[in-house]
Structure 1
Amino acid sequence: IYAPNYGTTDSFGGQSYGTAYDTTGSNGGGTLPSGFKRNQIGNDNIKWETTTQTNVGIDFSLFKQSLYGSLEYYYKKTTDILTEMAGVGVLGEGGNRWINSGAMKNQGFEFNLGYRNKTAFGLTYDLNGNISTYRNEILELPETVAANGKFGGNGVKSVVGHTYNSQVGYIADGIFKSQEEVDNHATQEGAAVGRIRYRDIDHNGVIDEKDQEWIYDPTPAFSYGLNIYLEYKNFDLTMFWQGVQGVDIISDVKKKSDFWSASNVGFLNKGTRLLNAWSPTNPNSTIPALTRSDTNNEQRVSTYFVENGSFLKLRNIQLGYTVPAVISKKLRMERLRFYCSAQNLLTIKSKDFTGEDPENPNFSYPIPVNITFGLNIGF
């Protein structure tokens, strides 16, 4: 791929790099024609990725269809993944190219079970629950691609054998509470009382890049849901609960709520968690001491920002009342029903989660609560 890159004058009056050249010999007396530069090398052998998937499932119903459900297992493997391979320096500018290289697998199962019946006193009910899980693994990648961080690993470790988009980082091991703790710890640039202490994983006495470990996996342990339908006389109630368990999130909000110096704009409003920052009079705080300069590099990827994003949400709930047919017919209606419904009314989350909504843990808008009153009329 070739593209024109006409040189333009920058804000300092100089000429930026470009492909324009004075082929006419006008000595800059007119608009210079632009040449082209190479952006990437072609690949005549490139082809589509290949995906093979196997699904095995069963649907069942028992006891006059009162007990029902399904079970499904799947295995999906993708090979010849399209990856961009950087070229060696001797190829010059635009030496990268796309190749087919790499493989990834996904596997998981989903189990659904329900029971519906009617009690002797007239309560009709239908309860349905489901649970599902999946696992992802990068099976194969070129070494340079596996280590550049595009598929995970932050450019520190190869992502092969790990989950797509998993990350490595430092293990935050509490707060230095005394100068003695600082002196007895491995050499850590920026270490001081009130600062985050990072674990010396390789025990070489120095906190460096080798002290990073896999700390973040975006794959939940499992997801689940529960549907409830109840009907008694003229009243009906429906609920839908949905949850995710054992999922990691990385909180970028913490950089604003827990640190004064984690932004290059030091005088923006900060989060109220800073009011509980470590100090000699507040020695048990897990929030580092206030500072105007981040000499300890506490913005680095570490377990300090990894939190439990598990949640259980009441997605929908609706309560309805159907007017008796005798009354609705007098109103020249076949059916008249009043109802009140709400969406996202309740969220149960981990006590370790410091944000507002684990489903939108960073700077997305929170999912709003919607309450609706209505009626259904049938003629």
Structure 2
Amino acid sequence: MHRSIFKVEKNAYIFGGVPYAGLGASNSITSSLTWSTTRSYNIGADLTMWNGLLGVEFDLFYKLTKDIQESRSGGFPPSLGGNYAQKGNTGKIDNRGFELVLKHQNHVNDFYYSITGSVAWARNKVLSRIESESTPWYRTNIGEPLGQIYGYKAIGLYQTQEQLDNRPFVGNGVQRLGDIMYEDINGDGKITQDGDKVKIGHSTLPELNYSLSMDFNWKGFNLSALWQGAAIVSYTLNGTYNHGSMDNTVYTRPFYSGGNAPYYLVEDSWTPENTSARYPRLSAIHNGNNAYTSSWWLVNGNFLRLKNLQFGYTIPKKILAKANIGLSNVRVYVAGTNLFTFTEFKYCDPEMAIINNGYYPQQKNYSVGLNITF
């Protein structure tokens, strides 16, 4: 594929005091841009034993994607005046992992059941991308997984005036008793994005996904359930936007945008009488010091959710035939989705997207149904 990244701008030129319209290119033509390519390797095995009492599926995979398009802005000196290729095939990433599925099915007299469990582990790593001295801190570094969280290392809340007097310089917000303290990683007496940002937690993309499905049948009664979950994943309650700025959210700032405060922020906020509090002091005024992405607002994203549960009854065909009403199948059922979720932080959906961009949580639903076949 050959593509031209060519932006045309209108310009005006003066000849003899008279303006004339003209066209000019704002950047150069890119003739070597191409599609990204992916190479995948898989090896697997399927095994069924003892008439279905045990089934095993195993798949091992490796995927390499290269020539990923990236923006080159900031990678060239200003003296070029913007006359350089805006995009290039410079990104490379790999992904590796496995999936294991175990199955069991059996029957005892009129009782039939089947159970299927699966676990999948996958880890990606950035192998190549455009980096320079001006590469922002919030971008994933080479050798790290996509979605890796970077932030300050929080070491507690200010408890004494002596701690405030000897604190490192923090460029945003104020620091008072009950505000978050950060570790000066490089020891320069300042808290800066370039010198004190470190890896905190795991990636926002879960490395481990698992599920368990169950189905039970007995004399027309049926019960089925699906559990799903994820592990080795983290997320932050504050917001980091695509351009790198950090901000509070309703989960970290009481009375955000003049609204109500989450109960937990009020109940366990710092006061002189509650110095072992989990959350900073209450304030109706925004404090940028407590809005930084840090380990203080890091949450373990592991969860287990009852995704689906259904209970039903199918009327035996011999009863329908005896009734002679022209029906070949009648089934009534009740069902629910997202009924239970076990997670460390219960106030938001653990399957949410980036928290600061807004995310409507998955809803708990109940339904009753009747299936009739003539």
When residues 117 and 183 of structure 1 are mapped into structure 2, their CA distance, relative to the original with a 3 A threshold, is: same
- Residues 34-53 of structure 1: pairs in structure 2 closer than 5 A: 35-38=23-26, 40-53=27-40
The one-letter amino acid of 1:284's match is: S
- Whether contact under 8 Å (1:235, 1:320) holds in the other structure is yes
- Residues 84-103 of structure 1: pairs in structure 2 closer than 5 A: 84-86=71-73, 87-103=76-92
Percent identical residues: 28
- Whether contact under 8 Å (2:207, 2:233) holds in the other structure is yes
Q: TM-score, normalised by structure 2?
A: 0.84
Q: Deviation of residue 292 (structure 1)?
A: 5.2
Q: Counterpart of 1:58?
A: 45
- Residues 1-379 of structure 1: pairs in structure 2 closer than 5 A: 1-3=5-7, 19-20=11-12, 33=21, 35-38=23-26, 40-86=27-73, 87-120=76-109, 122-144=110-132, 148-149=135-136, 153-154=137-138, 159-188=141-170, 190-209=174-193, 210-216=195-201, 217-252=203-238, 255-260=249-254, 265=257, 267-276=258-267, 277-291=269-283, 293=285, 297-329=289-321, 330=323, 331-350=325-344, 353=345, 355-360=347-352, 362=355, 363-379=358-374
Q: What secondary structure sits across from 1:327 in the alignment?
A: helix
Q: Deviation of residue 241 (structure 1)?
A: 0.7
Q: TM-score, normalised by structure 1?
A: 0.83
When residues 293 and 236 of structure 1 are mapped into structure 2, their CA distance, relative to the original with a 3 A threshold, is: closer
Q: Counterpart of 1:10?
A: none
When residues 287 and 66 of structure 1 are mapped into structure 2, their CA distance, relative to the original with a 3 A threshold, is: same
Per-residue displacement from partner, 1:137-189 (whole Å, max 9, x unpaired)?
A: 01122333x9624xxx415xx70010123232101222111213334554545
When residues 341 and 23 of structure 1 are mapped into structure 2, their CA distance, relative to the original with a 3 A threshold, is: farther
1: CA distance between counterparts of 2:170 and 2:8? 48
- Whether contact under 8 Å (2:182, 2:191) holds in the other structure is yes
Q: What secondary structure sits across from 1:182 in the alignment?
A: helix
Q: Deviation of residue 335 (structure 1)?
A: 1.8
Q: Deviation of residue 115 (structure 1)?
A: 0.4
* Aligned pairs, number: 350
Q: What secondary structure sits across from 1:143 in the alignment?
A: coil
The one-letter amino acid of 2:276's match is: N
When residues 326 and 294 of structure 1 are mapped into structure 2, their CA distance, relative to the original with a 3 A threshold, is: closer
Q: What secondary structure sits across from 1:80 in the alignment?
A: strand
1: CA distance between counterparts of 2:141 and 2:72? 16
Q: Deviation of residue 74 (structure 1)?
A: 0.5
2: CA distance between counterparts of 1:250 and 1:23? 59
- Whether contact under 8 Å (2:304, 2:343) holds in the other structure is yes
2: CA distance between counterparts of 1:260 and 1:366? 21
- Whether contact under 8 Å (2:238, 2:293) holds in the other structure is no
2: CA distance between counterparts of 1:91 and 1:100? 20
1: CA distance between counterparts of 2:111 and 2:250? 52
Q: What secondary structure sits across from 2:30 in the alignment?
A: coil
Q: Deviation of residue 100 (structure 1)?
A: 2.1
Q: What secondary structure sits across from 1:202 in the alignment?
A: coil
Per-residue displacement from partner, 1:300-344 (whole Å, max 9, x unpaired)?
A: 221223211221111111111111223212132222111111111
Q: What secondary structure sits across from 1:298 in the alignment?
A: helix
2: CA distance between counterparts of 1:163 and 1:365? 26
Moved more, 88-97 or 110-119: 88-97
Q: What secondary structure sits across from 2:119 in the alignment?
A: strand
2: CA distance between counterparts of 1:125 and 1:300? 51
Unaligned runs of 5+ in 1: 7-18
2: CA distance between counterparts of 1:318 and 1:78? 41
2: CA distance between counterparts of 1:354 and 1:370? 18
- Whether contact under 8 Å (1:240, 1:317) holds in the other structure is yes
- Whether contact under 8 Å (2:237, 2:297) holds in the other structure is yes
1: CA distance between counterparts of 2:134 and 2:144? 12
Unaligned runs of 5+ in 2: 240-247
2: CA distance between counterparts of 1:369 and 1:268? 25
Q: What secondary structure sits across from 1:297 in the alignment?
A: helix
The one-letter amino acid of 1:212's match is: K
When residues 348 and 354 of structure 1 are mapped into structure 2, their CA distance, relative to the original with a 3 A threshold, is: closer
The one-letter amino acid of 1:127's match is: I
